Structure 1
């Protein structure tokens, strides 16, 4: 894991990144562009960050992509992203790129999703305050509203139930959430695909959660990864919180617009 780097290092990295002929700006949403909230439907990107995102989205040879664990519909609803902004939901399963939506689950995958969801609903009913979120390609068990002890017990029960229902289920942890999916794709897979799709010369990626490490893992020389908040990371740079990301995005937008 990389150590925290200085602000000066990040300034220099952004200047070099902004000179790339074709750039992808990939951003997680919750905990990155927006602070966390108990009600995920009521969050919004910080105004300064969103203004910078829109500026970047209009910049020449620059593709902004929101890459989230949220379902695509939820991501579109909370961001109000313009139609020409690319969205990737469910950790890379669902896509809205170039105005076209894509979520091709097979009939077998849909049946697996339903079976796992039914098992998790039974777990959720046993733990008041634990919320089971049903997604197109899986489910999330949210424990933000309960104590650490209850969360630990609920997560253990959810893991047993999901794997009993489907031994091939993909389990991944996050901040106050345990997720179960039927398709083994990651944010890293999404970034690799986006780079190939757009012929990008460089990638900027910012994220805060454990699942964002898959994105940092695929970054290469000339790319810039920014970890938002604490925790071990493969990102080359770290900032304190979503508010600190506002300044980073504003700087990148300014450099990209004047290159």
Structure 2
């Protein structure tokens, strides 16, 4: 059951005509899976997003996954898809890199090749995503040892290739050293679509940038709310920076369905 506080916070926003809804995927509308390929979008979340995309000016997914994987997981034509933490936008010709990231494509490829020469700790998975790469250690036999080994090796390799490292839930991510991230993508979507209101869902440390973008949008006059989707592995910063917190993917589905119901009721009232 949704809290009264959440309903009171969202109710005025749902009535705004130019409302956009933006969401992360893994841990937000898809439960965390042992491997990237094992994750699927919650059917109730997908159904709600499908209908919301018919009644809102913008429904978008902003993910750390490659843009092609974001599109593949949702396959909702009316949605906007942004991958690789904002560095890649899905369009008619597939994933298109933002200009700032393009010069680093070769460096990321070279990093992946160099990483493949190492004997990774048992259970560690290297995922190449084009303009970024992710090292997953959730399945490592010894997670603490794998984390320490990765931190050392990645630090050396990333520095050698002029790349940076960020962290998430049992992952290290290697990215171009550009000031563009999920928050940049969220802010760009709000401005590009001329939204008067926006809701952003996220669960991980990388989504905190999105929460901060929502706070910045509020200062510009946009009625914006950041919803933190909390799970046992969530970084404390998620709860600290979100405007409202909910419990897991199941709660995301409930909130999305409630937003849809409220929006449809509004349309019906307007037309009657």
What displacement does 1:48 show?
1.3
Which stretch shows the higher mean deviation, 136-145 or 100-109? 100-109
What displacement does 1:7 show?
1.9
Equivalent in the alignment of 2:19: 23
What displacement does 1:170 show?
2.1
What displacement does 1:87 show?
0.3
SS of the equivalent of 2:117 reads helix
Which stretch shows the higher mean deviation, 25-34 or 215-224? 215-224
What displacement does 1:28 show?
0.5
Equivalent in the alignment of 1:218: 213
Return the alpha-carbon distance in structure 2 between the equivalents of residues 107 and 55 of structure 1: 35
Which stretch shows the higher mean deviation, 230-239 or 196-205? 230-239
Q: 1:159/1:56 Cα in 2 relative to 1: closer, same or farther (>3 Å)? A: same
Residues 69-110 of structure 1: CA deviation (Å, up to 9, x unaligned) = 00011222222x222210000000111258875225677422
Return the alpha-carbon distance in structure 2 between the equivalents of residues 225 and 107 of structure 1: 30
8 A contact 1:119–1:165 mirrored in 2 = no
What displacement does 1:136 show?
1.4
Equivalent in the alignment of 1:171: 165
Instruction: Structure 1 unaligned segments of length 5 or more: list them.
Output: 1-5
Q: 1:169/1:48 Cα in 2 relative to 1: closer, same or farther (>3 Å)? A: same
Equivalent in the alignment of 1:90: 84
Equivalent in the alignment of 2:70: 75
Equivalent in the alignment of 1:3: none
Q: 1:252/1:107 Cα in 2 relative to 1: closer, same or farther (>3 Å)? A: closer
The answer to whether the aligner puts 1:250 opposite 2:257 as a matched pair is yes
8 A contact 1:84–1:99 mirrored in 2 = no
8 A contact 1:93–1:183 mirrored in 2 = no
Instruction: Structure 2 unaligned segments of length 5 or more: list them.
Output: 267-272
The answer to whether the aligner puts 1:232 opposite 2:237 as a matched pair is yes
8 A contact 2:229–2:245 mirrored in 1 = yes
What displacement does 1:164 show?
3.6
Tell me the TM-score normalized by structure 1: 0.89
Q: 1:113/1:101 Cα in 2 relative to 1: closer, same or farther (>3 Å)? A: closer
Return the alpha-carbon distance in structure 1 between the equivalents of residues 91 and 59 of structure 2: 10
SS of the equivalent of 2:126 reads strand
Return the alpha-carbon distance in structure 2 between the equivalents of residues 136 and 188 of structure 1: 20
Return the alpha-carbon distance in structure 2 between the equivalents of residues 206 and 107 of structure 1: 28
Return the alpha-carbon distance in structure 1 between the equivalents of residues 71 and 94 of structure 2: 13
Task: Determine which structure has greater relative contact order: mean sequence separation of CA pairs < 8 Å that are 6+ residues apart, divided by chain length.
Answer: 1
8 A contact 1:86–1:98 mirrored in 2 = no
Return the alpha-carbon distance in structure 2 between the equivalents of residues 253 and 63 of structure 1: 13
Alignment of 1:23-172 (within 5 A): 23-59=19-55, 61-79=56-74, 81-96=75-90, 101-104=95-98, 108-123=103-118, 125-146=119-140, 147-166=142-161, 168-172=162-166
What displacement does 1:160 show?
2.4
8 A contact 2:183–2:212 mirrored in 1 = yes
Residues 108-139 of structure 1: CA deviation (Å, up to 9, x unaligned) = 4222112221232234x231211111111121
8 A contact 2:155–2:165 mirrored in 1 = no
User: How large is the RMSD of aligned CA atoms in angstroms?
Assistant: 2.0
Tell me the TM-score normalized by structure 2: 0.85
Return the alpha-carbon distance in structure 2 between the equivalents of residues 23 and 158 of structure 1: 44
